[in-house]
Amino acid sequence: MRLAFYISDGTAITAETFGHALLSLFTIELKHITIPFVETVEQAEDVVQKISESFQDTKQRPLVFYTVVNTEVRKIISKSVGINYNFLDQYVAPLEKVLGVKSKPEKHRTHSIHEKTYDIRIEAVNYALANDDGTNLKDLHQADIILVGVSRSGKTPTSLYLALQYGIKAANYPFTEDDMDDILRLPASLRRFKDKLFGLTIEAERLQQIRSERRPNSRYASLKQCRLELREVENLYRKEKIPFLNSTYFSVEEISAKILANTGLQRNKH
């Protein structure tokens, strides 16, 4: 199996993101190896040795994606036996020409505590944790968005992803079986913030599968109960004109991006 290395003198998140995006275009099986914080000549030589050993083992030149600021370290990695892709060399020079400004590379600038939005994102994560699952209704006025939906429809992971990636304060509120003893109505605590609500729904069969992993053979996980709850919630969305999204076939990254596109919320990412 061919290997793909992601190497950086920082967290390697950028190298991973670029590399994964490119490789996702190809339907081949790869083994992925990420090596962050390669900051010295000795570390770079060790990485080159690992790349050489992988070539000897697999008989295939590995793919090497790297973003390294240090010139000396970068030169060493560029001489590896792998098929090397240096994202910085590829894009920096053309950008310098277009912008008319020389770049000033600096390690750890993109994904570190010194990033401008770091504190914003950490505060948003703390807010998402404190306002998960309807446990705290007194701080909803601080929310940028309030996700609503039945239990296990994806509210919590989406709230956390919006917070960590984009610095968005996302609360979430579950509609439970108890709310559906009669016709499901929008609670007064949420009606005050109706303009912040965004609904999630999911196909009943997928919801049953997810709930069965948590509470197998329960009424909570039965297909009948899943269908009932989803029918009530989707009727509420339509009646109250709450925008909503079916999360069945989307990853948390895709759900979050679609929510931002639909709501126009600004990303605190740069």
Q: Tens of pLDDT along 38-63?
A: 999 999 999 999 999 999 999 999 99
Q: Please report whether residue 111 resides in a domain.
A: no
171, 127 Cβ separation under 8 angstroms: yes
What's the structural domain count of the chain?
A: 2
270 pLDDT band, cuts 50/70/90, is: low
Q: Verify that 242 and 159 share a domain, yes or no.
A: yes
113-127: average pLDDT? 83
13 pLDDT band, cuts 50/70/90, is: confident
Q: Please report whether residue 172 resides in a domain.
A: yes
Express each pLDDT in 197-220 by its tens digit: 999 999 999 999 999 999 999 999
Residue-number span of the structural domain to which 251 is assigned: 118-263
Q: Verify that 209 and 244 share a domain, yes or no.
A: yes
- Where is pLDDT greater, at 105 or 75? 75
Q: Verify that 154 and 204 share a domain, yes or no.
A: yes
Q: Which strand (E) or helix (H) includes residue 205?
A: helix 204-214
Q: Indicate the DSSP class of residue 265.
A: P
Among candidate residues 71, 99, 127, the one where a domain is terminated? 99
For the domain that residue 239 is a member of, what is the CATH number? Answer: 3.40.50
Please determine, for residue 223, whether its predicted confidence score (pLDDT) is greater than 60: yes
Express each pLDDT in 125-158 by its tens digit: 999 999 999 989 999 999 999 999 999 999 999 9
Which residues have CB under 8 Å from 30's CB, separation 6+? 1, 2, 3, 4, 23, 63
Q: Verify that 181 and 231 share a domain, yes or no.
A: yes
Q: What is the pTM of this model?
A: 0.76
Q: Verify that 131 and 195 share a domain, yes or no.
A: yes
Among candidate residues 68, 99, 130, the one where a domain is terminated? 99
Q: Please report whether residue 258 resides in a domain.
A: yes
Give residue 104's pLDDT.
Answer: 73
Q: Verify that 129 and 242 share a domain, yes or no.
A: yes
Q: Which residues on neighbouring strands pair with residue 174, listed in sequence order? A: 149
Helix (H, G, I), strand (E, B) or coil at 192: coil
Write the DSSP assignment of 34-93 as a string of letters: EE----SHHHHHHHHHHHHHHHHHHSSPPEEEEE---HHHHHHHHTSSSEEEEHHHHHHH
Q: Verify that 82 and 122 share a domain, yes or no.
A: no
Q: Verify that 125 and 88 share a domain, yes or no.
A: no
CA-angle at 140, arms to 139 and 143, nearest 5°: 105
Give residue 52's pLDDT.
Answer: 97
Q: Please report whether residue 217 resides in a domain.
A: yes
Q: Verify that 139 and 249 share a domain, yes or no.
A: yes
Give residue 11's pLDDT.
Answer: 86
Give residue 95's pLDDT.
Answer: 82
Lowest-pLDDT range of 9-13, 141-145, 251-255 = 9-13
Q: Verify that 184 and 256 share a domain, yes or no.
A: yes
90 pLDDT band, cuts 50/70/90, is: confident
Cα–Cα separations (whole angstroms), residue 112 to 66, 109, 260:
18, 6, 24
Give residue 103's pLDDT.
Answer: 78
Among candidate residues 69, 99, 129, the one where a domain is terminated? 99
Express each pLDDT in 164-186 by its tens digit: 999 999 999 999 988 887 789 99
Q: Please report whether residue 109 resides in a domain.
A: no
Q: Indicate the DSSP class of residue 109.
A: S
16-33: average pLDDT? 93
Give residue 114's pLDDT.
Answer: 55
Q: Please report whether residue 108 resides in a domain.
A: no
18-28: average pLDDT? 92
Q: Please report whether residue 268 resides in a domain.
A: no
Q: Verify that 71 and 125 share a domain, yes or no.
A: no
54, 1 Cβ separation under 8 angstroms: no
Q: Please report whether residue 269 resides in a domain.
A: no
Q: Verify that 122 and 248 share a domain, yes or no.
A: yes
Give residue 105's pLDDT.
Answer: 63
Give residue 268's pLDDT.
Answer: 81
